[in-house]
Amino acid sequence: LPSHYTLPSGDQIPSVALGVWQAGKGEVGSAVKTALKAGYRHIDGAWIYRNEAEVGDALKESAIPREDLWLTSKLWNTFHAPEDIEPTLDETLSMLGTDYLDLYLIHWPIAFKKEGSNVLDKDLTADPYPTWKKLEEMVDKGKVKNIGISKSYQTCHCRIQNLTANPLKYKPAVNQVELNFWNPQPELLQWSKENGLLLEAYSPLGSNKQVGESLSVPEVKDIACKLGITPAQVIISWHVQRGTIVLPKSVTASRIVENYDVFEIPQDLFERLEAAATAHTPQRVVNPSRGWGLPFDVFDD
Ligand code: A2P
């Protein structure tokens, strides 16, 4: 299975990352240290996870050369206005203790006003181009190597097309979306491959809500048994074999080590798992629309 994928910039992005969403203060640092010792070189974080400083301390302590690491962060919804982007990016860079990110994503395809709590900025939500142009400027300044989008565009591709209809200097390098056994999105995967857009799978195990169910899927257990690997390794391997980046989150040392080992699944077994994942009605595991009090579902185009 591929250990890296090549982005349009020519950069090589490692296929397995440690995801640090929901990795709390006091535990994320040791998770990152364990991961780096196990061989991970890709950490997928975000400003809103509120743990970038602790991640940064762990990176520093590891003494791994910066050029060997792949660091991703994400632009929070309240900072989409062009004038707010560089300050929040600088804050992320300073917390991580680096002077550039390998990848910076627009965290959600919606913008909030800076004041107030989760008040929609309708203009910047409808038209992400001003935000994108500023991100392109950050690439030109060397503060970011690649830029991408995240958490959207799942039911149709109008929003991607809305952005890419503009004269972009840099096209989105990746699209980070929920992908797991419950929400495998085969059409989006196919469309993305055809359009040269690499997907990154977040909540690949079904997040804390559904990881138990994911690991108990009969096909997953059966393949694990046949290959002599764990159910989590089956699922993580399946993601890479589908051609996506995978971002499993764990703060448990043994699981972090386990999750880094991916194995090629024989084609007939891979197809069985793919068929099982796509046979049921898809169900999104994570959706904050209601929690944010939005008058619409953020995943609807
Ligand atoms: P923990 O962090 O306590 O180890 P996802 O990557 O889909 O978001 O899933 C994250 C959830 O899955 C967390 O609750 C994490 O628990 C759990 N998890 C991660 N890796 C494993 C594993 N190898 N076996 C069992 N549970 C795991």
Distance 215 CA to ligand 1 centre (A): 10
The verdict on whether 49 is a catalytic residue reads yes
| One-character DSSP codes across 39-60 | T--EEE--GGGS-HHHHHHHHH
Q: What pLDDT sits at residue 157? A: 60
β partners of residue 14? 4
Distance 48 CA to ligand 1 centre (A): 20
Q: Residue 238 and residue 232: Cα distance in Å, rounded?
A: 10
Q: Tell which one of 255, 257, 262 to mutate to probe ligand 1, the residue whose CB is within 8 A of the most ligand atoms.
A: 255
Asked if 201 and 247 count as a contact pair (C-beta separation under 8 A), the reply is yes
In this structure, is residue 88 part of a structural domain? yes
In this structure, is residue 293 part of a structural domain? no
Q: Which domain holds residue 142?
A: 4-277
In this structure, is residue 286 part of a structural domain? no
| One-character DSSP codes across 212-273 | HHHHT-HHHHHHHHHHTS-HHHHHHHHHHHTT-EE--B---HHHHHHHH---PPPHHHHHHH
Q: Residue 195 and residue 139: Cα distance in Å, rounded?
A: 22
Mean pLDDT computed over every residue of the chain? 94
Angle between helices 267-277 and 218-227 (to 10 degrees): 160
In this structure, is residue 290 part of a structural domain? no
Q: What pLDDT sits at residue 153? A: 55
Instruction: Look at the chain and report how many structural domains it folds into.
Output: 1
Q: Please report the sign of the dihedral spanned by the C-alpha atoms of residue 174, residue 177, residue 179, residue 183.
A: negative
Q: Which amino acid is at 188?
A: L
Q: What pLDDT sits at residue 116? A: 79
Token pair 């061989």 is at which residue?
39
Q: Which amino acid is at 281?
A: T
pLDDT tens-digit profile of 221-242?
999 999 999 999 999 999 999 9
Q: What pLDDT sits at residue 299? A: 82
Asked if 179 and 153 count as a contact pair (C-beta separation under 8 A), the reply is no
Q: Residue 30 and residue 55: Cα distance in Å, rounded?
A: 9
The answer, yes or no, to whether any atom of ligand 1 lies below 6 A from the CB of 231, is no
The answer, yes or no, to whether any atom of ligand 1 lies below 6 A from the CB of 249, is yes
Q: Answer yes or no: pTM beyond 0.90.
A: yes
In this structure, is residue 300 part of a structural domain? no
Q: What number does the ligand 1 atom closest to the CA of 31 have?
A: 2
Distance 209 CA to ligand 1 centre (A): 10
The answer, yes or no, to whether any atom of ligand 1 lies below 6 A from the CB of 217, is no
In this structure, is residue 292 part of a structural domain? no
In this structure, is residue 204 part of a structural domain? yes
With CA atoms as reference, report the closest residue to 11 among 163, 151, 138, 139.
139
CATH of the domain at 26: 3.20.20.100
Mean pLDDT in order along the chain per 10 residues (301 residues): 98 98 96 98 98 98 98 97 98 98 95 89 92 98 97 63 88 95 94 92 97 98 98 98 98 98 98 98 90 86 68
The answer, yes or no, to whether any atom of ligand 1 lies below 6 A from the CB of 203, is yes
Q: What pLDDT sits at residue 57? A: 98
In this structure, is residue 106 part of a structural domain? yes
Asked if 131 and 82 count as a contact pair (C-beta separation under 8 A), the reply is yes
Distance 19 CA to ligand 1 centre (A): 10
The answer, yes or no, to whether any atom of ligand 1 lies below 6 A from the CB of 34, is no
